[in-house]
Structure 1
Amino acid sequence: MYLCFMIDIGSLRALAAIEQHGSVIAASDVMGFSPSAVSQQVKKLEKQTGFAVLERRGRGVLLTERGQALAAYGRRILAELEELQSTLLADPAKPSGHLKIVSFSTACRGLVGPVLGRLASSGTELDVSVLAEDPREAVARVANGEADLGVVHNWNSVPLVIPEHLSLEWLCEDIADLLVHSSHPLAGRDAVEPADLVDERWISTPHGAICNEALLRIFADLGRVPDIRVYDPDFATHLALVEQAAVVALVPRLGRPALPVDVVSVPVVNPVQARQVGMVHRRTMTASPGIRHVAGLLREIAARGGAASGRAEP
């Protein structure tokens, strides 16, 4: 505990950010400071401790052995401070302060949007900001302290890795349907299987996105890959191109807008294409009044099926 009084907390935070993000520039972006300001924090830390914590390696920097030990120590201190601020220093009856949420886009519409509406109508003092990110990025931001709560998904074919210091709670299951033009031969089917889809032209989310990987996995056992003609991150674009009869799409129900008249939804079976939707936060924030309040709203909205999904029977 002696070091706690000798070492500036801001300097420890800067060192931990450099370790997590790999460079002074990346750490400065996350912390919202200039690279020179972060460098000054490191110099202050070296003056306070009496030893070097960084060493230059090419154009970048590496933590020294003592720097790595100090960064690990700093992470523990910062975690304890966060837990202190979110519990003993917070009024459990009055959620307040600023909460950063990171969520994949369909959950922004289907779950987080209704939460923001509830908060606005209730007059709570809790200030919330939202960033749309793919679940892997969302998990990383929450794990690194860049966000407080993440809404994520986990496809049955593409598991999502959650670090041990995060708490994960599943909220609901979200099923994805095949969307086709009403004139398409599959439009009148009660359901389709992967073998029925191998010759279709697809629109997909970009390479590396979890939904793209889920689409690729549908065909893995058939020894084929989907014929993807268009890559776009926005499912609204997927609907628009299906309406033009240009492609077919696999679109989850959560947050899905009402389908155009000429677009038909067909269930996919053997296997059903489903993803689990959940929320993550750091375990140190478990007792935070803001986290508890927003988590409760997410549970309630998810239990009611989220926002209207626009899913239609074929």
Structure 2
Amino acid sequence: MIDLQALRSLVTIERYGSVIAAADALGFTASAVSQQIKKLERTLDAPVLERQGRGVRLTERGHLLVAEGGPLLRELERVTTLVESPVLAKRRLRVIAFSTAMRGLVAPALALYQSSGAHHAKLETQLRSVEPEAAVQQIARGDADLAVVHNWSSIPLAIPPGVRAQALGFDEADVVLPANHRLAFQAAVARSELIDEPWAATPAGAICHEALMRLFADLGVVPRVVAEDPEFATLIALASAGVAVALVPRLGRGPLDASVVARPLSDAPQRRTIQVIYRDSMAGSPAVTELTGLLREVFERTEGRVGGQGAG
């Protein structure tokens, strides 16, 4: 009979391209993974890997095993979550989220879980900050169990088959301006008033950067980005210093000091959908269900600030 851990090792090697990378992903040593593959080959009395330069590649039989065995592993995961008791002594969940969601949603949701006397099981989480496109891939591959992602209307996030998405709500983005800016005294600003402004933005390639790049597309203008930084707090600081204006979502933004104001766009409101995603095979997991519910509760508590009008 084929050993499931050995099969999982082979599937992971195919996914990552090497024994060492697969070992890192599985949390084993390379030697342990190699031993699993040898065990699998003894069971089959045939090789599943062959050397290719300094690396390895799957044999024809190895590819067949991955093609047929991968779905079996996902089905096993689904069955395991169905029989998981809601009162187990400990549950483990690998959670990934974009940075502001980690701060503004995941951390408060986990605090609610730990403080609630209704929960009998300890939830042991492994947390990592991951951008949405990479998060979708990691969920689909089985490298994480639950992710919080954002989905800009101008840049749709593709959700592959086998991955389920639940919307928590909408997160508005405002233009952050120096308090003494010529537009700071308006309740909202039009894009035409911002065409000549210098912008501070997240780095090129990030979804929020791409959303800014498309902001003036129908006006035939590309924003003039003079500063890039991955942290929205830095973009706000640059606006405070008068270096640039910035497009900053409200989730995780925190209160603004008197040196800046945040104003919504009057002619093209910027909105992103905040979603929880996980594999279909994890839909029956009590841990996934409970954490999703707590994330929704935290989001609803902040919805007036996140989805409401920009504050000065």
Common topology (TM > 0.5): yes
CA distance in 1, matches of 2:181, 2:274: 31
Counterpart mapping for 1:225-304 below 5 A: 225-304=222-301
Aligned residues of 1:46 and 1:53 also touching (Cα < 8 A): yes
Structure 1 residues 60 and 224: CA distance shift in structure 2, 3 A: farther
For 1:138, the equivalent position in structure 2 comes to 135
Give the SS at the match of 2:186: coil
- Once the two structures are TM-superposed, the CA of residue 50 in structure 1 deviates from its matched residue by 2.0
- Once the two structures are TM-superposed, the CA of residue 236 in structure 1 deviates from its matched residue by 1.2
CA distance in 2, matches of 1:137, 1:56: 29
Aligned residues of 1:102 and 1:131 also touching (Cα < 8 A): yes
The question of 1:42 aligning with 2:37 is answered yes
For 1:51, the equivalent position in structure 2 comes to 46
Counterpart mapping for 1:104-253 below 5 A: 104-122=98-116, 124=119, 125-253=122-250
- Once the two structures are TM-superposed, the CA of residue 26 in structure 1 deviates from its matched residue by 2.2
For 2:311, the equivalent position in structure 1 comes to 313
CA distance in 2, matches of 1:287, 1:179: 42
One-letter identity of the residue aligned with 1:313:
A
For 2:91, the equivalent position in structure 1 comes to 97
CA distance in 2, matches of 1:194, 1:95: 54
Counting matched residue pairs gives: 308
- Once the two structures are TM-superposed, the CA of residue 83 in structure 1 deviates from its matched residue by 1.5
Deviations 1:117-162 (A, max 9, x none): 1012125422223211111121122112221100001001111111
Of 55, 60, 63, which residue of structure 1 is paired with 2:55?
60
- Once the two structures are TM-superposed, the CA of residue 34 in structure 1 deviates from its matched residue by 2.6
Deviations 1:146-183 (A, max 9, x none): 21100001001111111111111111000100001011
Deviations 1:202-255 (A, max 9, x none): 211122111111111113233332222222111111111111111111100111
The question of 1:72 aligning with 2:72 is answered no
After superposing the two structures, state which structure 1 stretch, 276-285 or 68-77, moved more.
68-77
Structure 1 residues 207 and 29: CA distance shift in structure 2, 3 A: farther
For 1:81, the equivalent position in structure 2 comes to 76
Aligned residues of 2:48 and 2:62 also touching (Cα < 8 A): yes
Aligned residues of 2:177 and 2:184 also touching (Cα < 8 A): yes
Any stretches of 5+ residues in structure 1 without a counterpart? 1-5
Structure 1 residues 94 and 269: CA distance shift in structure 2, 3 A: farther
Aligned residues of 1:256 and 1:311 also touching (Cα < 8 A): no
Aligned residues of 1:257 and 1:308 also touching (Cα < 8 A): no
Give the SS at the match of 2:74: helix
One-letter identity of the residue aligned with 2:61:
R
- Once the two structures are TM-superposed, the CA of residue 35 in structure 1 deviates from its matched residue by 2.7
CA distance in 1, matches of 2:34, 2:150: 37
Q: Percent identity?
A: 47
TM-score between the two structures when normalised by the length of structure 2: 0.92
CA distance in 2, matches of 1:55, 1:220: 51
Provide the alpha-carbon RMSD of the alignment: 2.1
Aligned residues of 1:104 and 1:152 also touching (Cα < 8 A): yes
CA distance in 1, matches of 2:185, 2:75: 58
Aligned residues of 1:82 and 1:284 also touching (Cα < 8 A): yes
Aligned residues of 2:213 and 2:222 also touching (Cα < 8 A): yes
For 1:22, the equivalent position in structure 2 comes to 17
Structure 1 residues 150 and 95: CA distance shift in structure 2, 3 A: farther
CA distance in 1, matches of 2:220, 2:46: 57
Any stretches of 5+ residues in structure 2 without a counterpart? none
For 1:3, the equivalent position in structure 2 comes to none
Give the SS at the match of 1:109: helix
CA distance in 2, matches of 1:225, 1:163: 31
